């Protein structure tokens, strides 16, 4: 009980401090975030508690968090109400009484929905590296959502299987759909799994209108579909750590470092089958602690936080100056030319893709 | 019209005053969140009911496809659970033999295992490399049905078993003396007395089966779509609250259907049972051996094999087999896979489950007392209490965020730890009530009347007449509520804070990251959760015999 009371009074204190400081920058009446003039850059010190809303994969090392809390004078609280999709939905549903002050983990497959609903306050971290702009969503959105990390959803394969087999390692999606490779492949359903949707997006990006042909062929040739990434990866993957039946599975370009045994890699990613996912942070409209929220976005853009991303969330930092861990330098590879699609198109066509995919692959 | 001082009026007032406690609890923590979600979907821009939109959703072919497949799966799952559960209830509760307590406890374990883990265990079993790989059951309807039976057989065993154990053998003996064959005595004496419990159990299992989520998705390879998976899809992928709301209403119609059928079965057969509720179990004899062995073998095949597969996976390391993942449960996971070590998540789970079980069993006892006499209002209360079983966790979880994540009558519930045990109590309450009501109804009204006539106050009547007869099922209900809360995932995943994971949310999180350490720890945690559950169930069984001996 005591902790709840402590939190209540802290929040009340924070709110009172803001009122005294005359900080009423939150213009709730503005119809959309893009119309809001940028808030004046923090003249008042950020203090009090900041509630950070994340997806359920969020992780940060204690010492890095403690260092930030000490230097900023802020106390961070985290709420994680589900995966990336339900995170965005909850932000939209709770718009009038936001779940927190700042969000991390909105990705490019769901960002558009949140942007359209106007759940973000405009903010661009000071001194954001200009190269980060390439991860921006679409023109004009970088002032609302700050890119934090990215990852490539790619097919992974079992090295030993192809060493022992007469089959060559496949190099393209075209090959995956054939009778040689489709029966060896386990992927996830786009309706229930975000990597599954990324793979559909990759086929749309590569084949355009004819994307269903890939799925018709793959399905007819016996490609396996599961409900979630953990089913495909942990249960189906034939890599030595898991012992399943499928040497090709849908995962991430960053997965192979986790499968290194005695210094030797046992899996690798097929880098020409990838779709790039980007994750963003943003200040929430109606936040209690706007200065604190902005300070958190600044921190997440800083190398101190960026360098923790690979080992804690298996994603790449967007900051060009953030150092990668040695095993990533050695065993993780990025796609040179990953598929991308505009978030607004993903959002507009998601339902049609999933319906079409379902009728082609499952029915 | 009786005057306010009239005893009948006073009894009414007392009934409603007592009912206000569970009704208020459910109204605040279940009905309000759910209504908020359904309302958002069904109310149009002008504030009126969106009938055209509702009709559009109901007119879609896919709506009826999912309704059909939900019904089919739920009926098959219920039939399977009864087919295995009824003989098991007899063997495990009506008969007495050494070691049965261990089996009783083990049978309850699957019920609380997180579906992700069960699905993995079944896949390990039915996949092409599993023992049952040659059967071609992978990603089939039969695989889902088997998993539904795996989960729910314990519901039948416990609810029916408790009643069966309390049946007076004298009634059957009398029928036999009067010349009835064993079969005839069973059909005309035993079956009618068991039917209310069977109806209750079937209704609960039907509801569980019709809202099953994880097993349907994972074991069906996402090919089979049900109302529940469709709601998840509409909310999570499309944020189509209208479709989700319409489907939720359809789902609640299922609840009403199942409850109505159960009540009908009860009413039709319910007889005023004799007040001498006794320990009717008997020591097993050599003649019972074939039935016991067949039942145990079937249970072992269905329940033990997936659990052994689970244990095997928890021992699997990159260099063979070993206890590495169990050792890891005591340490802070590598870097920050989890905010806390697993043992800490275990402590969180035990703490939340204790609070949840306390809430659920207290409310359950009140509800059972109020429902002791069948009546229209008690049927209404029954429906309200059972409703949470038939409603999607996605809807309730989101609804709780919408309605309760703020100041509620002066209490700041935002991110409150209390929401977790409260949500778990909502989930456990129907099972507690179902365990207690048959026993509460079996108490002869004549006993209470006699006590009242002798001048005992209502409280004293309850203490001296009801409580001694309810203690035994109450002990079981507390244990069951605790076990359910330990394993609850759906609502908990919405409400548990990331720095205070419970065992199921920790398992889910571990299964979201690559690397054999993570999946190994997830399975080791699942085994620990299973053992905790078995321990809890065994403890409550132990209490049961002690109490039984008192009688």
Distance from CA of A281 to the nearest CA of B (A): 18
For A59, name the nearest residue in chain B, comparing CA atoms only: B336
Quote the pLDDT of residue B543: 65
Average pLDDT of span B409-435: 84
Q: Could you give the CA distance from residue B75 to residue B202 in angstroms, rounded to a whole number?
A: 10
Inter-chain contact A314–B509, Cβ cutoff 8 Å? Answer: no
Q: Is residue A332 part of a domain?
A: no
Same domain, yes or no: A197 and A215:
yes
Residue span of the structural domain in which A181 resides: 152-276+340-362
- Which parts of chain A have pLDDT scores under 70? 1-45, 137, 140
Nearest-CB residue to B335 (from A83, A86, A312):
A312
Nearest-CB residue to B236 (from A4, A89, A228):
A89
Quote the pLDDT of residue B50: 82
H or E element in which residue A295 lies: helix A290-301
Return the sign of the alpha-carbon dihedral for residues B26, B492, A60, A153: negative
Both structure tokens of B279:
């320990």
Q: Is residue A268 part of a domain?
A: yes
Quote the pLDDT of residue A25: 36
Q: Is residue A311 part of a domain?
A: yes
Kind of pairing, strands A146-158 and A248-252? antiparallel
Q: In chain B, what residues touch A362 (CB-CB under 8 Å)?
A: 222-223
Mutation site, B216, B421, B498, B514, interface A, largest A CB count within 10 A: B514
Nearest-CB residue to A57 (from B217, B229, B512):
B512
Rounded to the nearest 5°, which phi and psi values hold at B320? 120, -130
Q: What is the dihedral of CA B368, B373, B375, B379, to 10 degrees?
A: 20
pLDDT tens, residue by residue, B213-255: 878 887 877 788 889 888 888 887 788 888 989 999 888 887 7
Both structure tokens of A124:
């661009």
Inter-chain contact A81–B519, Cβ cutoff 8 Å? Answer: no
Distance from CA of B130 to the nearest CA of A (A): 10
Q: Is residue A320 part of a domain?
A: yes
Crossing angle of helices B342-370 and B503-510, rounded to 10°: 130
Q: How many C-beta neighbours within 10 Å does residue A35 have?
A: 10
Quote the pLDDT of residue B5: 62
- Token pair 């009446």 is found at A29
Tally A–B CB contacts below 8 A. Answer: 146
Mutation site, A69, A230, A361, interface B, largest B CB count within 10 A: A230
Quote the pLDDT of residue A30: 36
Q: In chain A, what residues touch B336 (CB-CB under 8 Å)?
A: 59-62, 312
H or E element in which residue B468 lies: helix B467-487
Cα–chain center distance at B211: 12
Q: How many C-beta neighbours within 10 Å does residue A30 have?
A: 15
Return the sign of the alpha-carbon dihedral for residues B258, B259, B260, B264: positive
Write the burial class of residue A69 (CB in 10 Å: 0-12 exposed, 13-18 middle, 19+ buried): middle
Contacts of B240 (CB under 8 A, 6+ apart): B234
Rounded to the nearest 5°, which phi and psi values hold at A218? -60, -45
Q: In chain A, what residues touch B417 (CB-CB under 8 Å)?
A: 3-4
Mutation site, B39, B136, B222, B518, interface A, largest A CB count within 10 A: B222
Contact B284, B292 (CB under 8 A): yes
DSSP A162-193: HHHSSSPPP-SHHHHTSTTTGGGEEEE-TTT-
Quote the pLDDT of residue A3: 36
Kind of pairing, strands B316-317 and A48-54? unpaired
Contact A276, A340 (CB under 8 A): yes
Average pLDDT of span B25-42: 90
Which segments of chain A are extended strands (E)? Answer: 48-54, 74-79, 102-107, 120-121, 146-158, 185-188, 224-226, 248-252, 267-269, 275-284, 316-317
- Token pair 């068991």 is found at B194
* 3-state SS, residue A319: coil
Q: Does the CB of A314 have a partner CB in chain B at under 8 Å? A: yes
Q: In chain B, what residues touch A312 (CB-CB under 8 Å)?
A: 335-336
Write the burial class of residue A263 (CB in 10 Å: 0-12 exposed, 13-18 middle, 19+ buried): exposed
Q: Could you give the CA distance from residue B86 to residue B190 in angstroms, rounded to a whole number?
A: 12
- Token pair 């106007």 is found at A118
Quote the pLDDT of residue A12: 40
Rounded to the nearest 5°, which phi and psi values hold at A307? -70, -15
Report A:135-174 residues touching B (Cβ under 8 A): none
If you count DSSP H runs as helices and E runs as strands, how many of each does chain A have, helices first?
14, 11
Q: Is residue A9 part of a domain?
A: yes
Q: Is residue A331 part of a domain?
A: no
Residue ranges and CATH numbers for the domains of chain B are 20-38+71-271+280-314+326-550 (1.10.3720.10)
* 3-state SS, residue A282: strand
* 3-state SS, residue A341: coil
Q: Could you give the CA distance from residue B206 to residue B213 in angstroms, rounded to a whole number?
A: 14
Q: How many C-beta neighbours within 10 Å does residue A164 have?
A: 10
Both structure tokens of B235:
């909310």
* Biggest CA pair distance of chain B: 81
CA dist B225 → A80, A178, A192, B110, B251 (Å): 27, 28, 12, 23, 14
pLDDT tens, residue by residue, B426-461: 989 988 998 888 778 777 778 888 888 888 888 888
Domain count, chain A: 2
Quote the pLDDT of residue B334: 56
Contact A362, A225 (CB under 8 A): yes
Write the burial class of residue A336 (CB in 10 Å: 0-12 exposed, 13-18 middle, 19+ buried): exposed
H or E element in which residue B407 lies: strand B407-408
Q: Does the CB of A355 have a partner CB in chain B at under 8 Å? A: no
Please say if the pLDDT value at position B296 is more than 90: yes
Quote the pLDDT of residue B278: 67
Contacts of B114 (CB under 8 A, 6+ apart): B214, B487, B489, B504, B507, B508, B526, B529
Same domain, yes or no: A258 and A289:
no
Same domain, yes or no: A239 and A146:
no
Same domain, yes or no: A85 and A226:
no
Q: Does the CB of A351 have a partner CB in chain B at under 8 Å? A: yes
pLDDT bin (cut points 50, 70, 90) of residue B124 is: low
Range name among A36-45, B140-149, B150-159, B445-454 with the lowest pLDDT average: A36-45
Q: Could you give the CA distance from residue B502 to residue B118 in angstroms, rounded to a whole number?
A: 18
Contact B501, B345 (CB under 8 A): yes
Contacts of B394 (CB under 8 A, 6+ apart): B231, B232, B235, B236, B244, B490
Q: Could you give the CA distance from residue B432 to residue B484 in angstroms, rounded to a whole number?
A: 10
Nearest-CB residue to A59 (from B218, B223, B336):
B336
Both structure tokens of A23:
């900080």
CATH number for the domain harbouring residue A194: 3.40.190.10
Same domain, yes or no: A173 and A217:
yes
Q: Could you give the CA distance from residue A1 to residue A9 in angstroms, rounded to a whole number?
A: 13
Whether ipTM exceeds 0.95: no
Inter-chain contact B415–A258, Cβ cutoff 8 Å? Answer: no
pLDDT bin (cut points 50, 70, 90) of residue B408 is: confident
Query: Of the ranges A216-225, B98-107, B113-122, B443-452, which is most confident?
Result: A216-225
For A193, name the nearest residue in chain B, comparing CA atoms only: B237
pTM for this entry: 0.80
Q: Could you give the CA distance from residue B150 to residue B110 in angstroms, rounded to a whole number?
A: 6
Q: Does the CB of A255 have a partner CB in chain B at under 8 Å? A: yes
Same domain, yes or no: A157 and A231:
yes
Q: Does the CB of A331 have a partner CB in chain B at under 8 Å? A: no
Same domain, yes or no: A189 and A222:
yes
Quote the pLDDT of residue B276: 47
Same domain, yes or no: A146 and A159:
no
Please say if the pLDDT value at position B265 is more than 60: yes
pLDDT tens, residue by residue, B389-404: 888 877 888 888 778 8
Same domain, yes or no: A11 and A104:
yes
Same domain, yes or no: A100 and A13:
yes
Q: Could you give the CA distance from residue A159 to residue A164 in angstroms, rounded to a whole number?
A: 9
Quote the pLDDT of residue B549: 36
Contact A343, A280 (CB under 8 A): no
Nearest-CB residue to A362 (from B223, B318, B511):
B223
Quote the pLDDT of residue B193: 82
Same domain, yes or no: A203 and A347:
yes
For A114, name the nearest residue in chain B, comparing CA atoms only: B239
| Mean pLDDT (chain B, rounded) | 83
For B321, name the nearest residue in chain A, comparing CA atoms only: A241
Same domain, yes or no: A9 and A99:
yes
* 3-state SS, residue A126: coil
Q: In chain B, what residues touch A8 (CB-CB under 8 Å)?
A: 412
Crossing angle of helices B419-442 and B393-404, rounded to 10°: 120
Q: Is residue A334 part of a domain?
A: no
Quote the pLDDT of residue B267: 67
Q: Is residue A269 part of a domain?
A: yes
Quote the pLDDT of residue A146: 94
Report A:29-68 residues touching B (Cβ under 8 A): 51, 54, 56-62
């Amino acid at each position: 009980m005591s902790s709840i009371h402590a939190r209540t009074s802290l929040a009340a204190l924070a709110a009172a401090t803001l009122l005294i400081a005359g900080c009423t920058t939150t213009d709730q009446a503005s119809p959309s975030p893009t119309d809001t003039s940028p808030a004046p850059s923090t003249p008042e010190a950020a203090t009090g508690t900041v509630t950070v809303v994340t997806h359920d994969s969020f992780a940060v090392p204690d010492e890095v968090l403690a260092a930030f809390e000490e230097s900023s004078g802020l106390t961070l609280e985290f709420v994680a109400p589900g995966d990336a999709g339900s995170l965005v939905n909850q932000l939209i549903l709770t718009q009038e009484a936001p779940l927190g002050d700042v969000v991390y983990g909105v990705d490019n497959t769901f960002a558009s929905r949140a942007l359209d609903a106007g759940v973000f306050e405009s903010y661009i971290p000071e001194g954001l590296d200009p190269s980060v702009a390439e991860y921006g969503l679409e023109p004009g959105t970088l002032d609302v959502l700050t890119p934090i990390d990215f990852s490539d959803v790619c097919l992974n394969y079992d090295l030993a299987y192809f060493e022992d087999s007469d089959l060559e390692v496949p190099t393209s999606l075209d090959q995956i759909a054939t009778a040689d490779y489709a029966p060896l492949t386990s992927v996830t359903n786009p309706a229930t799994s975000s990597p599954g949707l990324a793979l559909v997006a990759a086929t749309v990006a590569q084949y355009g209108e004819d994307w269903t042909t890939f799925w018709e062929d793959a399905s007819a040739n016996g490609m396996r579909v599961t409900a979630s990434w953990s089913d495909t990866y942990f249960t189906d993957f034939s890599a030595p750590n898991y012992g399943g039946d499928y040497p090709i599975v849908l995962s991430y370009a960053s997965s192979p470092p986790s499968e290194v045994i005695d210094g030797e890699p046992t899996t690798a990613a097929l880098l020409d089958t990838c779709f790039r996912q980007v994750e963003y942070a943003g200040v929430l409209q109606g936040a209690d602690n706007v200065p604190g929220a902005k300070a958190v976005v600044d921190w997440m853009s800083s190398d101190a936080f960026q360098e923790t991303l690979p080992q804690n969330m298996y994603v790449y930092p967007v900051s060009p100056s953030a150092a990668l861990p040695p095993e990533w330098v050695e065993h993780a590879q990025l796609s040179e030319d990953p598929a991308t699609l505009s978030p607004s198109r993903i959002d507009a066509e998601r339902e049609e893709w999933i319906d079409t995919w379902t009728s082609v692959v499952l029915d | 019209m009786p005057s306010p001082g009239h005893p009948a009026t006073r009894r009414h007032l007392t009934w409603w005053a007592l009912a206000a406690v569970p009704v208020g609890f459910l109204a605040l923590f279940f009905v309000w969140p759910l209504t908020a979600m359904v309302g958002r979907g069904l109310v149009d821009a002008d504030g009126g009911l969106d009938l055209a939109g509702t009709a559009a959703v109901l007119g879609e072919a896919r709506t009826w496809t999912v309704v059909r497949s939900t019904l089919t799966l739920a009926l098959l799952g219920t039939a399977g659970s009864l087919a295995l559960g009824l003989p098991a209830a007899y063997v495990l509760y009506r008969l007495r033999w050494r070691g049965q307590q261990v089996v009783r406890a083990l049978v309850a374990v699957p019920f609380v295992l997180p579906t992700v883990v069960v699905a993995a265990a079944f896949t390990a079993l039915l996949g092409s490399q599993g023992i049952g790989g040659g059967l071609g059951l992978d990603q089939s309807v039969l695989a889902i049905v088997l998993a539904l039976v795996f989960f729910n057989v314990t519901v039948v065993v416990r609810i029916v078993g408790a009643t069966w154990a309390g049946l007076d053998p004298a009634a059957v003996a009398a029928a036999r003396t009067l010349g009835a064959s064993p079969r005839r005595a069973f059909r005309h004496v035993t079956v009618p007395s068991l039917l209310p419990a069977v109806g209750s159990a079937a209704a609960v299992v039907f509801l569980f089966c019709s809202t099953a989520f994880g097993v349907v998705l994972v074991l069906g390879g996402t090919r089979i779509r049900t109302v529940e998976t469709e709601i998840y899809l509409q909310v999570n992928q499309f944020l189509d609250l209208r479709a989700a709301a319409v489907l939720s209403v359809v789902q609640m119609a299922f609840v009403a259907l199942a409850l109505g059928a159960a009540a009908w079965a009860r009413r039709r057969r319910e007889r005023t049972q004799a007040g001498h509720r006794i320990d009717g179990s008997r020591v097993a004899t050599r003649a019972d051996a074939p039935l016991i062995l067949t039942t145990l073998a079937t249970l072992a095949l269905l329940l033990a094999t997936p659990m052994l597969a689970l244990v095997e996976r928890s021992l699997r390391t990159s260099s063979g087999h070993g206890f590495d993942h169990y050792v890891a449960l005591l340490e802070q996971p590598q870097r920050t896979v989890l905010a806390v070590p697993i043992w800490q998540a275990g402590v969180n789970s035990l703490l939340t489950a204790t609070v949840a079980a306390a809430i659920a069993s207290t409310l359950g006892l009140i509800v059972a007392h109020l429902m002791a006499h069948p009546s229209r209002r008690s049927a209404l209360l029954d429906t309200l209490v059972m409703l949470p079983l038939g409603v999607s966790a996605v809807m309730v979880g989101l609804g709780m965020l919408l309605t309760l994540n703020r100041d509620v009558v002066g209490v700041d519930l935002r991110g409150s730890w209390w929401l977790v045990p409260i949500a778990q109590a909502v989930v456990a309450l129907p099972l507690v009530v179902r365990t207690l009501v048959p026993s509460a109804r079996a108490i002869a009204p004549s006993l209470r009347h006699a006590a009242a006539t002798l001048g005992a106050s209502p409280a004293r009547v309850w203490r001296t007449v009801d409580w001694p007869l309810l203690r035994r099922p109450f002990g079981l209900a507390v244990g069951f509520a605790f076990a359910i809360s330990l394993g609850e995932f759906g609502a908990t995943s919405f409400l548990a804070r990331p720095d205070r994971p419970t065992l199921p949310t920790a398992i889910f999180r571990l299964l979201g990251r690559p690397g054999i350490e993570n999946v190994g720890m997830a399975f080791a945690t699942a085994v620990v959760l299973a053992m905790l559950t078995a321990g809890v169930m065994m403890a409550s069984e132990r209490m049961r015999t002690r109490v039984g001996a008192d009688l």
